[in-house]
Structure 1
Amino acid sequence: MILDAALEVFSRHGYRGTTLDQIAAEAGLSKPNILYYFDGKAEIHVTLLNRLMTSWLDPLIKLNAEGDPRHEILSYVQRKLDMARDLPQESRLFAGEILQGAPRMSPDLERHLKPLFDEKCALIQRWIDEGALPSLNPQHLIFSIWATTQHYADFDAQVRVLLDTPDETHARASRHLAQMFGALLSLPEAR
């Protein structure tokens, strides 16, 4: 209850704009009740970020070295887009922390994200070296996936204003990203 309320408030106001009073009001509790369970705003925020890190890494973990490279990467794109739809508050919480320089999350990025990122970049490079994918930069490929999929959560207000059919956003984004990344990942036809 407290963490759900905190997620709502942090994702709306950011870390600096959030107060314990706002979290307590959102949770329907008093501030002393919040402080019974947590030492303060920073502990609540770090707890949310740590919980988020597990779910955030899962789509990348599922990139299967034994699968078809193009299918694996396109499936990863879809999993990230689904997360943007299903976990928009978590996406905004993560983005807010990163935009501030990751002051509370930096150790987790080093400990959990960096080794996984390096492992999956090496896998993509292996697929490129084996001729299963065209020559591209694995790191920037992953950054591009993150940027295009998380945009739908982090800039949801803008997306809703700009699209005439916001109810169809996810399906249309899914088709567009599959087409865009599918073209990027296609090998040139043999001559």
Structure 2
Amino acid sequence: RESRVMESKGERGGNMVRCWVTLLDDTHIERAVGQVLFDKVCEHLNLLERDYFGLAVWLSPNTKVNILELLHSIEFIYKEREQPPVYATFTFNVKFYPPDPSLLAEDITRYLLCLQLRSDIMTSRLSCPLDVLAELGSYTVQSELGEYDSEVHGQGYLGNIPLAPHQTPELEDAVTEMPAKEIRRSIVFRGPEF
């Protein structure tokens, strides 16, 4: 996707801090402040159910510093630093998971929640037992490859699909053994089980 660029100054005028936002699908949006930046990201994604999402600053892959307060300027986030970064880098991510995903109105919201869940598992920010990991993995495999066909997919077909940070043959076997009816069930109907 093409990244859209937006320039904006804070309420007080002042200098701009160039912003770089990494979306859940690894595309980027540059330059804006606070609420304007968040609105721009949501427009880019055609997202209406915005309450579940926010912009975060990260110190490391496992340390989230701050969800951007939308009423503050970007400069506020970086005022403690002696030298602000060339780019103020944020990630668009889930602030909280809904208690019942089946009540979400939009497919894009469910899709973004699934991307965040997968990212959290792959980066070890979220852990889950093998049976849940296998079930989530089966949804990923079905999403990427469609219905399993032994003539097309063959043995070892899961080796190319990342399912966990430390993927094991045990996990791949558990995903392969998931009954077809289980794989066909939509995660949307699983609701609070996850």
TM-score normalized by structure 1? 0.29
**Under a length normalisation based on structure 2, what TM-score does the superposition of the two structures give?**
0.28
Specify which structure has the higher proportion of helix.
Answer: 1
Greater RCO (CA < 8 Å, at least 6 residues apart): 1
